[in-house]
Amino acid sequence: MSIKKAAIVLARMNSKRFPGKALHNIEGRCLLEWCVFNLKKQSNYDIVLATSSESSDEPLSKLAEELQINCFRGHLHDVYLRVIECIDYFQIKSFARINGDSPFPSSELINQAFDLLESENLDFVTNLAPRSFPYGVAVEVFDAQMFKVNYQNLSSDAHHEHITSYFYENLNSFKYKNISSGIENLEDIRLVVDEVSDINSIQKVIKSIDANKPISYEEITKILKEDND
């Protein structure tokens, strides 16, 4: 199998702050299902779940099969290496890094990033340098070969676990482009599940929007800010 463009979803069951969160049910779908559901909207890429080979992550592998997406199982702690092995296994040319605890990835933004990467011959495309989208709506698309060769340059445990951190620490060494939302204060909104307390906000959003339509960050911002007023 050879995949030109892949959304690689990173998830595991042994989260320190919220164990088992990937399978936590929110309004009829588990957290990882919401992530995949939104990735499938208007997508022109394959979706691959990259989880660990630990027995605790067997339920995630089974869920990937149910959702009819590819799955790769590799190193638990060296996430960077897990992604490299996933790239090699599926012969992936370019990929988007997706966190499985972020239920609202934007397929529209991901497609835009893939197009920019190819048309401008970039090393990577991001929307985090600087961030102008909600926390949990990260768009990071990388040339797979460039990503692989930089493994030898990693110099901290954080680089191995937070697999894009090395690139942000060395921006001047790469050809990249940043996507901006053009909307003020979106970066103040949290659309990620790090802890149990984050579930309430995600639940409120899902109840308030039409899940089948493209995500409107202006609408989500209004919903959550009204909740805080």
Which residues contact residue 83 at a Cβ distance below 8 angstroms, ignoring those fewer than 6 apart? 8, 10, 50, 95, 97, 147, 163
The 3-state secondary structure of 66-106, one letter per residue: HCCCEEEEECCCCHHHHHHHHHHHHCEEEEEEEECCCCCCC
pLDDT (average), residues 65-92? 98
What are the tens digits of pLDDT across the range 47-60? 999 999 999 999 99
* Residue 227 pLDDT level (bands cut at 50, 70, 90): low
**Calpha distance 30→76 (Å, rounded):** 22
Residues in contact with 212: Cβ distance below 8 Å, sequence separation at least 6, in sequence order: none
Burial class of residue 93 in the structure, from the number of CB atoms within 10 Å of its CB (0-12 exposed, 13-18 middle, 19+ buried)? middle
Q: What is the DSSP letter of 131?
A: B
Q: What token pair was written down for 81?
A: 């290496």
How far is the C-alpha of 8 from the C-alpha of 51, rounded, in Å? 10
Burial of 192 (0-12, 13-18, 19+ CB in 10 A): buried
**Residue 228: what pLDDT?**
59
Rounded CA gap, 3 and 85, in Å?
14
CATH number of 8's domain: 3.90.550.10
Domain containing 96 equals: 3-228
Query: In this predicted model, which residue has the larger pLDDT, 7 or 188?
Result: 7
What integer pLDDT is reported at residue 221 of this predicted model?
A: 82
pLDDT digit string (tens) for 207-223? 999 988 887 888 888 88
What predicted TM-score, i.e. pTM, was given to this entire model? 0.96
Examine the pLDDT at 1 and tell me if it is beyond 80. Answer: no
Domain count, the chain: 1
